[in-house]
Amino acid sequence: MLISIIRAGLGRIIAGLNILTQGAAMKRTPEVQAKVNEACKDLSLYQFQLCPFCVKVRRHMHKLNLPIELRDAKDNAQFRSELAENGGKIKVPCLRIDEGDNIKWMYESDDIIAYLQQRFS
């Protein structure tokens, strides 16, 4: 119980500091940003709001100006179930990449960030 309280407190501190220090989003021409927005419709991030690794990924999403759907796998039973059944485990962050007939589930914050930077920088 004490660990949960400490974890929640630290999560709130990290999330608050992130808001205060996140900086400006990447600027693109309206045409390029429209293409990025369309590409992001095939992505969704399963996450917990106060998870430090999720904050790290969301911070990079902000920097790259990526409107990726956030799916709360902690408080939303449907998203939690999707993550467990399709991704194979309840672990966040997890990026769901829909490539039409193939759906990939990418875990690990550093892998997700590298993928987003490679695809959208």
The pLDDT tens digits of the residues spanning 36-63 come to: 999 999 999 999 998 999 999 999 999 9
For residue 36 the two structure tokens come to: 């990025």
Selection from 69, 70, 60, 66 nearest residue 28 by Cα:
66
Residue with tokens 């991030």: 45
Domain locations in the chain as residue ranges: 2-120
The yes-or-no verdict on residue 30 having pLDDT over 80 is: yes
CA atoms within 13 A on the CB side of 44: 12
In a 10 Å sphere around its CB, with 0-12 CB exposed, 13-18 middle and 19+ buried, how is residue 47 labelled?
buried
pTM for the predicted model, two decimal places: 0.86
Instruction: Indicate if the pLDDT at residue 92 is higher than 90.
Output: yes
- The CATH code of the domain at 2-120 is 3.40.30.10
Please, what is the Cα angle at 30 between 37 and 70, to 5 degrees? Answer: 25
Q: Which of 11-25, 30-44, 61-75 has the lowest mean pLDDT?
A: 11-25
CA–CA distances in Å: residue 63 to residues 52, 56, 83 = 17, 11, 26
d(CA 72, CA 14): 17
Closest CA to 87 of 45, 48, 115, 50: 45
pLDDT exceeds cutoff 70 at 94: yes
